[in-house]
């Protein structure tokens, strides 16, 4: 355990070192958040009275949450160190450590992602709260929904980790991440609600995204926060999160074990 | 029983055959052909505790594959390996806590941070106690002269300094066996000597069993009493270096400085070639007395100077490779 923790710490610390990257990340998040919010506000103001699936204030909060937690929830993340290690054979060292490869990679990826979100989270939240009314991040709809949101975010973090580790261990076979990551970039980005919140999807697409893990990382916790998902729906959502965590975890471990049986170390 | 016992291991790799060019690439996109490589073809040997083994062979002979099987990274297709009563790939986690490995062409240190931080990470990974860690580290700092390079980001260090740190990193947890895969690759003469001295020292002091692969025969000469020669996945020689040298000692290289050129057709001349300002002969000393040869030579040529070039271990190895056609 201590070993995994130190991987986590080391990754977290090195992640915090890249100040320029953090600054760039932050401004990107502000920029995108602002653009989305402005567009939605314009839509709502010019729109007719047809019923919208979300209140404007909820929608704006949703957008800001998405930007604040972006470092944690986006799904096309590549761990450069792990991928290079697979390609150039440095993984040989990783394999002669008295540790489980799968958990080692979990702690590395988790460490880096948490570093990423730590650097972006606070400034984005602070500014989003201070903005004037139609543009601002509102408080959670109730205390209970805030608490459930926290729980859902924690599960979402685990879900993100097992999903990201999954395609990293697939690279033990494919040696290259480009194909798989590109597919995820399109698929996960849309289906997770990072582009348009899932409630705005047409019914069939909503059904699809309910059946896949992606929206339980982003969309679900945010909707809990804004109160758009409540009551029994929350429990179903949390259950789905747990199901997907377990499923992807066991799948990842299965693939890792299979891969290690027939590892080839690149470059002799 | 021996400390390391390897019996009849085999390992084959399936490599996709790729043809060059657009047409070939398109073809292999739809239909992939594979080539099977027998990286290791029935190798057996045993090693006693505290030995230093030189594991040699040309590029692609299967050295690294063997090392990786012995260190639990690769699983052989068949055969058995028992090291210290464990099978490396089955008891992997427990086993690797007892071994250390240096892969000379790779790095285990984190590039952007000082080696000290990597060491601390290793301390946690191997669950080394505080006191034990301090003690081992101080020993290593002394032996490898690490004081000045320990707190510098690794990327700023020279290859020689880095290699010393790499070796130290693999010894922090006091392994019983140390695998050194080309530890002196790319090092200058001084660093090479330093690394060799160190390897000798830890072998003597800590009774560490060492398996060393290298292309630098001076490494072998300085360190290993016993060598294993492997070629095309087959074990070709297992014995002492001295014996191997003696086996080929009959070949003498004689360099004669002269203005003339003659072609000598005698059974004892293995080969001859023209060099700048003279001729070089390879003489089979079993078939002729050197005295007679020189006598004969002086009757044919005006000799300005004559040199007997001692056979280096490199020559022996080249000859061996030639003989086995590897």
B226/B46 Cα distance (integer angstroms): 12
Confidence of residue A254 (pLDDT cuts 50, 70, 90): very high
Q: How far is CA B149 from CA B104, B111, B152, B157, B168, in A?
A: 19, 13, 6, 7, 12
Interface probe, candidates B92, B120, B175, B215, chain A, greatest A C-beta count within 10 A: B92
- DSSP-derived pairing of the beta strands B251-257 and B278-284: antiparallel
* CB contact B93 to A (< 8 Å): yes
Question: Where does residue B325 rank: exposed (0-12), middle (13-18), buried (19+ CB within 10 A)?
Answer: exposed
Closest CA to B171 of B220, B106, B98: B98
The whole-angstrom distance between B187's CA and the closest CA on chain A is 20
| Contact state of B125 with A97 under an 8 Å Cβ cutoff | yes
| Contact state of A93 with B106 under an 8 Å Cβ cutoff | yes
Return the number of CB contacts < 8 Å for A and B.
Answer: 72
User: Is residue A234 pLDDT above 90, yes or no?
Assistant: yes
Structure confidence at residue B188 (pLDDT): 85
B189/B195 Cα distance (integer angstroms): 10
- Token pair belonging to A38: 């402005």
- Tell me which chain B residue has its CA closest to the CA of residue A261: B75
Residues of B in contact with A90 (CB under 8 A): 106-108
First to last CA, chain B: 33
Which residues 13-42 of A are in CB contact (within 8 Å) with B?
Answer: 14, 17
User: Is residue A150 pLDDT above 90, yes or no?
Assistant: yes
* CB contact B68 to A (< 8 Å): yes
Interface probe, candidates B59, B62, B94, B106, chain A, greatest A C-beta count within 10 A: B106
Model pTM?
0.82
Structure confidence at residue B326 (pLDDT): 65
Confidence of residue A155 (pLDDT cuts 50, 70, 90): very high
Q: pLDDT of chain B along its 326 residues, tens only?
A: 688 999 999 988 877 776 777 777 777 777 777 888 888 889 999 999 999 999 988 887 888 889 889 988 888 888 999 998 899 888 888 899 999 999 888 888 888 888 998 899 899 989 999 999 999 999 899 888 888 999 998 889 988 888 889 999 999 999 999 999 888 888 888 888 888 888 898 899 888 999 998 888 888 888 888 999 888 888 888 988 888 777 777 788 888 888 888 888 888 888 888 888 888 888 888 888 888 888 888 888 888 888 888 777 777 777 777 777 76
Residues of B in contact with A6 (CB under 8 A): 120-121, 124-125
Residues of A in contact with B117 (CB under 8 A): 10
Q: What is the C-alpha radius of gyration for chain B, rounded to an integer number of angstroms?
A: 24
Write the residue in A14, A92, A261 that is nearest to B68 by C-beta: A92
Confidence of residue A266 (pLDDT cuts 50, 70, 90): low
Judge contact between A26 and A124, C-beta under 8 A.
Answer: yes
Structure confidence at residue A37 (pLDDT): 93
Judge contact between B258 and B278, C-beta under 8 A.
Answer: yes
Write the residue in B97, B105, B127 that is nearest to A2 by C-beta: B127
Closest CA to B97 of A255, A3, A256, A111: A3
Judge contact between B79 and B68, C-beta under 8 A.
Answer: no
Q: Spell out the long-range contacts of B275-278 with Cβ–Cβ below 8 A and sequence spacing 24 or more.
A: B278/B304, B278/B305
Structure confidence at residue A24 (pLDDT): 87
Confidence of residue A265 (pLDDT cuts 50, 70, 90): low
* CB contact A262 to B (< 8 Å): yes
Write the residue in B59, B106, B125 that is nearest to A92 by C-beta: B106
* CB contact A89 to B (< 8 Å): yes
Phi, psi of A265 (to 5 degrees): -85, 125
- Is the Cα dihedral B318, B320, B322, B326 positive or negative? negative
pLDDT of A82-119, one tens digit each?
A: 998 888 888 888 888 888 899 999 999 998 899 888 88
User: Helices then strands (H, E): number in chain A?
Assistant: 12, 0
| Contact state of B105 with A268 under an 8 Å Cβ cutoff | yes
- Token pair belonging to B322: 């030639």
User: Is residue A197 pLDDT above 70, yes or no?
Assistant: yes
Check: complex ipTM more than 0.90: no
User: Is residue A206 pLDDT above 70, yes or no?
Assistant: yes
B25/A186 Cα distance (integer angstroms): 27
- Tell me which chain A residue has its CA closest to the CA of residue B112: A14
Q: B312 — alpha (psi -120 to 50), left (phi > 0) or beta? A: beta
Residues of B in contact with A2 (CB under 8 A): 124, 127
Q: How many CB atoms lie within 10 A of CB B237?
A: 17
* CB contact A88 to B (< 8 Å): yes
- Tell me which chain A residue has its CA closest to the CA of residue B93: A98
Which residues 307-326 of B are in CB contact (within 8 Å) with A?
Answer: none
pLDDT of A7-34, one tens digit each?
A: 888 888 777 777 788 888 888 999 999 9
Residues of B in contact with A99 (CB under 8 A): 93, 125
Judge contact between A76 and B70, C-beta under 8 A.
Answer: no
Residues of B in contact with A96 (CB under 8 A): 71-73, 96, 99, 101
Interface probe, candidates A2, A7, A21, A93, chain B, greatest B C-beta count within 10 A: A93
Structure confidence at residue A216 (pLDDT): 95
Strand partners, B145: none
Structure confidence at residue A165 (pLDDT): 95
Closest CA to B62 of B76, B78, B50: B76
Buried b (16+ CB within 10 A) or exposed e, B101-131: bbbbebbbbbeebbbebbbbbbbbbbebeee
User: Is residue A268 pLDDT above 60, yes or no?
Assistant: no
- Tell me which chain B residue has its CA closest to the CA of residue A92: B73
Angle at A23 between CA A21 and CA A25, to 5 degrees: 65
Q: How far is CA B288 from CA B180, B255, B292, in A?
A: 43, 17, 7
Structure confidence at residue A16 (pLDDT): 76
How many CA atoms within 13 Å lie on the side-chain side of B67? 33
Closest CA to B79 of B131, B113, B52, B40: B40
- Token pair belonging to A140: 């959670």
Confidence of residue A264 (pLDDT cuts 50, 70, 90): low
Phi, psi of A131 (to 5 degrees): -70, 155
Residue B230 DSSP symbol: E
């Amino acid at each position: 355990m201590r070993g995994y923790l130190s991987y986590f710490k080391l990754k977290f610390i090195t992640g915090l070192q890249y100040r320029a990257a953090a600054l760039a990340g932050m401004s990107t998040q502000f920029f995108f958040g602002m653009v989305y919010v402005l567009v939605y506000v314009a839509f709502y103001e010019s729109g007719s009275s047809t019923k919208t699936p979300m209140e404007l204030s909820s929608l704006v909060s949703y957008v800001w949450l998405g930007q604040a937690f972006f470092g944690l929830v986006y799904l096309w993340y590549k761990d450069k160190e792990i991928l290079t290690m697979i390609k150039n054979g440095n993984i040989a060292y990783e394999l002669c450590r008295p540790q489980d490869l799968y958990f080692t990679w979990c702690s590395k990826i988790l460490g880096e992602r948490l570093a990423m979100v730590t650097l972006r989270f606070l400034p984005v939240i602070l500014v989003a709260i201070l903005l004037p009314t139609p543009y601002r991040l509102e408080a959670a709809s109730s205390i209970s929904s805030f608490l459930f949101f926290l729980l859902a975010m924690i599960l979402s973090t685990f879900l993100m980790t097992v999903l990201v580790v999954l395609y990293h261990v697939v690279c033990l076979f494919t040696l290259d991440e480009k194909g798989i990551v590109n597919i995820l970039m399109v698929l996960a980005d849309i289906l997770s609600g990072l582009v348009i919140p899932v409630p705005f999807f047409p019914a069939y697409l909503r059904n699809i995204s309910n059946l896949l893990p992606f929206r339980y990382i982003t969309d679900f916790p945010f909707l809990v926060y804004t109160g758009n998902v409540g009551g029994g729906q929350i429990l179903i959502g949390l259950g789905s999160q747990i199901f997907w965590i377990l499923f992807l975890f066991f799948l990842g471990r299965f693939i890792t074990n299979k891969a290690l049986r027939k590892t080839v170390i690149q470059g002799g | 029983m021996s400390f390391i016992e390897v019996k009849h291991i085999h390992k084959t790799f399936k490599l996709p055959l790729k043809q060059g060019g657009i047409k070939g690439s398109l073809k292999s996109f739809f239909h992939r052909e594979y080539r099977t490589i027998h990286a290791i073809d029935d190798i057996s040997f045993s090693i006693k505790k505290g030995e230093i083994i030189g594991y040699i062979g040309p590029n692609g002979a299967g050295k690294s594959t063997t090392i990786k099987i012995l260190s639990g990274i690769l699983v052989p297709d068949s055969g058995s390996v028992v090291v210290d009563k464990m099978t490396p790939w089955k008891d992997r986690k427990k086993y690797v806590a007892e071994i250390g490995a240096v892969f000379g062409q790779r790095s285990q240190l984190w590039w952007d941070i000082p080696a000290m931080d990597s060491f601390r990470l290793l301390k946690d990974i191997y669950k080394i106690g505080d006191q034990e860690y301090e003690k081992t580290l101080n020993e290593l700092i002394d032996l490898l002269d690490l004081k000045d390079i320990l707190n510098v980001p690794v990327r700023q260090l020279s290859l020689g300094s880095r290699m010393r740190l790499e070796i130290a990193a693999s010894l922090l947890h006091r392994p019983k066996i140390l695998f050194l895969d080309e530890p002196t690759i790319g090092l200058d003469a001084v660093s090479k000597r330093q690394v060799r001295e160190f390897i000798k020292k830890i072998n003597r002091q800590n009774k560490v069993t060492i398996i060393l692969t290298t292309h630098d025969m001076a490494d072998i000469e300085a360190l290993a009493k016993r060598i294993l020669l492997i070629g095309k996945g087959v074990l070709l020689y297992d014995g002492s270096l001295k014996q191997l040298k003696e086996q080929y000692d009959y070949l003498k290289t004689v360099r004669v400085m002269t203005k003339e050129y003659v072609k000598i057709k005698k059974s004892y001349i293995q080969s001859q070639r023209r060099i700048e300002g003279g001729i070089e002969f390879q003489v089979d000393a079993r078939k002729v007395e050197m005295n007679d040869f020189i006598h004969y030579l002086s009757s044919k040529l005006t000799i300005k100077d004559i040199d007997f070039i001692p056979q280096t271990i490199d020559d022996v190895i080249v000859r061996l490779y030639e003989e086995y056609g590897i």
